[in-house]
Amino acid sequence: MSKPSLAALQQPPLRRAEGAGSGSESAAADARANLLGMPRTELERFFVDLGEKPWRAKQVMKWIYHAGVAEFDAMTDISQALRNRLSDIARIEAPVLTPFPAAADGTRKWSVAVGDGSERVEAVLIPEPSARGSARGRPSQEEPSARGSARGLPSQEEPSAGGRARGLSSQELEKPGRSTLCISSQVGCVLDCAFCATGKQGFNGNLSRAEIVGQAWAVARQLATEGSGRGITNIVFMGMGEPLYNFDAVVDAASVFTDDLGLGISRRRVTISTAGVAPRIRELASRSEVSLAVSLHAAEDELRSQLVPLNRRYPIAELLAACRHWLGQLGDRRSVTIEYTLMEGVNDALADAAKLAGLLGDLRCKVNLIPFNPFPGSQFKRPSMQRVRAFQTHLLGAGIPAMLRTTRGDDITAACGQLVGLVRDRTRRQARHLARRTGMAPDEQLLRVTSP
């Protein structure tokens, strides 16, 4: 995490530097520090550097995250002189979100303009019908929360009601249930997992922490405006990108998500999902206490290296050792979520289930089984439910907690691995992918991929 200083405010803005992050060219050229996404300790230092008391950070965070305010002038318990000064040197700026039509199952997706506004990532909200509803969709944590679910940002006129308690009382069962927001951390993805539409688009950089936090902040604000009475209860870093390759920004964003003065979501309900960047998994527990999900998808190295090329760098044994280290560091009976996408004839046989059970036998974990979501051009197929159930039954019989995650938002291409956005492909991966499929020469133009 970089320490903010007034001197830094004088520097020309770097693309997606910590202070940057929005969906317009004018914002990209704005050298004022973006306070959105700034962790509390850093914001305190920011005010100390201004000659103010550190508690100003609490004041401002309440306005930003509890009241949904983006203008300093609306912060009426701050002196006019300080408000004017803040407006001169700082801003609160989220990326611009454009909604897609909602899916039939209630899943919602937004296109998020980032960088200079010409590139887009996506964020997806998966509401559950009730606490009794099945745990479905884009994988997310299902563990009980010690602190309750996140507050929804009230409209500017309304006082914050604080977090909503989560329990399983009969009254609670009648209330709206979990609402999980899946956010992106990079524009495209540098990894090229064989089964992932995002991975086919190439890569064009990291999101700033303002662009990461801004996805949740803007969606929460939208929900409050709609008066849905339901805020975001869970956040998962399972959108575009490998979060641990944008480590500092993701850790900072997670601290804002879990801070009581931020979105106030339980650390167990914020999940960083990784394809297996083992060194960063080891480091994560010393930087954040949020939950961890690992995309495994195969129980042996040869197959996993084909599905998740990162495995060649960090093979399964090294990856699981890092997971054990992470568990040992947290020491609070946390478990690792293992994501396993089932692909017909690839990794869905009972023999695969047996290997997986053997591999995970001594790891404190639970397994999310995700039937593959086909996308245009994908070479894999979704297995039958019979095979999926058989795989799950085998794991359960071996004592491995295994949950089936059916997909949500298929009709708006919001399901796992279907987020594509608009990526200026520096790696030219998509051009090469299309060239392989069509025989046409690679095209370096900006590539518009799928949209609902």
Catalytic annotation, residues? 122, 416
**CA-to-CA distance for 151 and 264, rounded, in angstroms?**
7
Residue 52: which of 19, 78, 90, 75 has the closest Cα? Answer: 78
At residue 18, φ and ψ (nearest 5 deg) are -55, -35
Does 196 bind ligand SF4 (CB under 6 A)? Our answer is yes
Residue 335: which of 363, 360, 357 has the closest Cα? Answer: 363
State the minimum distance, in angstroms, from the CB of residue 183 to ligand SF4.
Answer: 12
| Residue (409 or 417) nearer to ligand SF4, CB | 417
| Residue (187 or 299) nearer to ligand SF4, CB | 187
Q: What is the DSSP string of 321-374?
A: HHHHHHHHHH-SS--EEEEEEE-TTTT-SHHHHHHHHHHHTTS-EEEEEEE---
| Residue (119 or 192) nearer to ligand SF4, CB | 192
Structure tokens at 314: 């960090």
Does 189 bind ligand SF4 (CB under 6 A)? Our answer is yes
**CA-to-CA distance for 189 and 324, rounded, in angstroms?**
26
User: What is the amino acid identity at position 18?
Assistant: E
Identified binder of ligand SF4 from the candidate list 152, 154, 199, 409, rule CB under 6 A = 199
Which residues, in sequence order, are CB contacts of 412 under 8 Å at separation 6+? 100, 101, 102, 103, 107, 109, 452
Does 191 bind ligand SF4 (CB under 6 A)? Our answer is yes
Which residues, in sequence order, are CB contacts of 105 under 8 Å at separation 6+? 408, 409
**Per-residue binder mask for ligand SF4 (CB under 6 A), 236-255, x = binder:** ----xxx-------------
| Residue (152 or 199) nearer to ligand SF4, CB | 199
| Residue (202 or 383) nearer to ligand SF4, CB | 202
Does 425 bind ligand SF4 (CB under 6 A)? Our answer is no
State the minimum distance, in angstroms, from the CB of residue 47 to ligand SF4.
Answer: 37
Does 231 bind ligand SF4 (CB under 6 A)? Our answer is no
Contact 139, 293 (CB under 8 A): yes
**CA-to-CA distance for 387 and 383, rounded, in angstroms?**
6
State the minimum distance, in angstroms, from the CB of residue 295 to ligand SF4.
Answer: 6
State the minimum distance, in angstroms, from the CB of residue 416 to ligand SF4.
Answer: 8
Identified binder of ligand SF4 from the candidate list 218, 223, 250, 275, rule CB under 6 A = 275
Identified binder of ligand SF4 from the candidate list 94, 123, 193, 423, rule CB under 6 A = 193
Span interacting with ligand SF4, options 44-52, 130-138, 234-242, 381-389, rule CB under 6 A: 234-242
State the minimum distance, in angstroms, from the CB of residue 198 to ligand SF4.
Answer: 4
Instruction: Report the C-alpha dihedral over residues 240, 246, 251, 256, rounded to 10 degrees.
Output: -60
Q: 20-39: string of b/e by CB count within 10 Å (b at 16+)?
A: bbbbeeebbebebbbbbbbb
Contact 423, 190 (CB under 8 A): no
State the minimum distance, in angstroms, from the CB of residue 82 to ligand SF4.
Answer: 42
Identified binder of ligand SF4 from the candidate list 198, 206, 311, 378, rule CB under 6 A = 198
User: What is the amino acid identity at position 273?
Assistant: S
Structure tokens at 362: 């001594």
Q: Which residue is nearest to ligand SF4 (CB)?
A: 199
State the minimum distance, in angstroms, from the CB of residue 376 to ligand SF4.
Answer: 16
Biggest CA–CA distance in the chain, Å, is 69
Does 94 bind ligand SF4 (CB under 6 A)? Our answer is no
Size of the site for ligand SF4 (CB under 6 A): 13
| Residue (35 or 238) nearer to ligand SF4, CB | 238
Residues numbered 279-338 forming contacts with ligand SF4, rule: CB under 6 A: 295
State the minimum distance, in angstroms, from the CB of residue 186 to ligand SF4.
Answer: 8
| 3-class DSSP assignment, residue 85 | helix
At residue 157, φ and ψ (nearest 5 deg) are -80, -20
Instruction: Give the DSSP H or E segment for 112.
Output: strand 108-114
| Residue (189 or 296) nearer to ligand SF4, CB | 189
CA 123 distance to own-chain centroid: 8
- List strand residue ranges (DSSP E) for 362-448, in order: 365-371, 402-404, 422-423, 447-448
**Per-residue binder mask for ligand SF4 (CB under 6 A), 403-422, x = binder:** --------------x-----
Does 233 bind ligand SF4 (CB under 6 A)? Our answer is no
Span interacting with ligand SF4, options 103-111, 195-203, 264-272, 385-393, rule CB under 6 A: 195-203
Q: What is the DSSP letter of 275?
A: S
State the minimum distance, in angstroms, from the CB of residue 210 to ligand SF4.
Answer: 21
**Interacting residues with ligand SF4 (CB under 6 A):** 189, 191-193, 196, 198-199, 240-242, 275, 295, 417
